[in-house]
Structure 1
């Protein structure tokens, strides 16, 4: 089976969320609880070799969790 690659945009969003999570000393498990997903799902998202990624509902919930705008997870210019 061929490897599913994440897009540059997916990787940017994932890295941004990871950075915000780490800046707040929040574990994957705590983020998973707040996002109402399994902690293994967060681990799969942060692993570039897994196909898991955030969807628009996740991004909206993440904005609530981190008290920011959903736009804060997107790059200023297209990738």
Structure 2
């Protein structure tokens, strides 16, 4: 299953916030309680992994941001 535009938007926003805070892919994955390659795999276009609401909630805690920051302002 390929990633939809909204999936990719969310993945890109998580990456943008993660990189601004200098948090590695592995640190975010493991810190949120998931397998160490979750974020790396999601960020690779050719991989099917994407985030669910539980991932995003955990990432928001680690990145100290609102879960709303991962979503677009307007429907896509």
1:71 to 52, 68, 72: 68
* Residue number in structure 2 paired with 1:55: 52
Shift of 1:39: 2.3
The total of aligned residue pairs comes to: 76
What are structure 1's unaligned runs of at least 5 residues? none
More moved, 49-58 vs 38-47? 38-47
TM-score where L is the length of structure 2: 0.91
SS in 2 for 1:38: coil
Q: Which residue of 1 aligns with 2:18?
A: 21
The normalised TM-score by structure 1 is 0.87
Unaligned runs of 5+ in 2: none
Residue 78 of structure 1, CA deviation: 0.9
